[in-house]
Structures are given as C-alpha cells and as structure tokens.
Amino acid sequence: MEQEQQWKRWNGQPVNVPIAEEVNRVLMQERAAGYELKVCIGTDSQVKGRMTEFATVIVFIRKGKGGFMYVNKEISRQRMTIKERMLMEVQKSFETAYGLCNIFSRYQVDMELHADINTNPAFKSNDALKEAMGYILGMGFAFRAKPEAFASSRCANKVVQ
C-alpha cells in the first residue's frame, strides 16, 4: 500500500509541498500571529466493498481560538480483520506523527495521537486497544482513545464516510 501521500487542506485545496514543509510554514505563521497551538493526529477507516479507505488528519487547535486541519486519504485493497484495520489506523497516525515530531518539538507544540478504538470491551475495536496503546506510549507519544480521540473518531471519520 506504499504510495505518495497527497495531503489536502480541509477545503480540498492540495498541499503542493511535502507535509513537513507545510507544517513548518504553518507553525511559523501561527506563532507570529500569537497563537498557542496543540496538534492531534488521528486516522479512521471505512470498508467500502472490496477496499478500505483510510483518512489521516493533522488537527491544529488554536487554544481558545478554533482550529484547522490537513487530510490525507489512502485506499487499500488488502483484506483485514477489524483488529488489523485498527492497528493499521494507528500505524498511519504514528508514521505521520513520527515524520513531524521534530518540527513540533522545535516549536514546543504539544502533540497527541488519537486512535478510533473504543475503550468499552463490548465493542470489537477494543481488541486492538492494548497493542495500540502500548505501541504509541512505548514510542513516547501521548495517546487518546474513544471518547477523547476526536481527531480520529470525529475529524477523520468525516472524511471516510
């Protein structure tokens, strides 16, 4: 499923530079405007027939002043169990966060990874919770699952519906 990422702004406008370059530019601009930022990265997926659509989002929250986000969509034709799909979502979020974490550190921006995994054991996605949490926390990132994982369960979800 290796492919070139095509990030877009929420309004659909493509980002024509590498996402790291765009994030750096945005952080400089937001800092110059006096905003204090927090970033949440999450991925959601939706099975559509024989393919699975994944959407990863980078949500920038201007503390007390709204926010904005960037979106990357990918399609997989690989068949997966729900646990495999949940862990693939976490992997996509992690890869995005890992590629940008030095930039966020440079600007002292807090970052969280959000997983669309239910903390309630009655839901099938819960099967992946321990592995996902261990993976993300083990790599040194802040982790949020449902219901606090709005980047994946709300923002990315809107993209794959």
- Work out the burial of residue 36: count CB atoms within 10 Å of its CB; fewer than 13 is exposed, 13-18 middle, 19 or more buried: middle
Q: Residue 47: what pLDDT? A: 94
Q: Residue 4: what pLDDT? A: 56
Q: Taking residues 145-149, what's their average pLDDT? A: 91
Q: What is the pLDDT of residues 89-117, one digit of tens each?
A: 999 999 999 999 999 999 999 999 999 98
Q: Residue 113: what pLDDT? A: 97
Q: What is the DSSP string of 102-135?
A: HHHHHTT-EEEEEEEEESSTTSGGGGGHHHHHHH
* pTM attached to this predicted model: 0.92
* pLDDT > 80? residue 75: yes
* pLDDT > 80? residue 87: yes
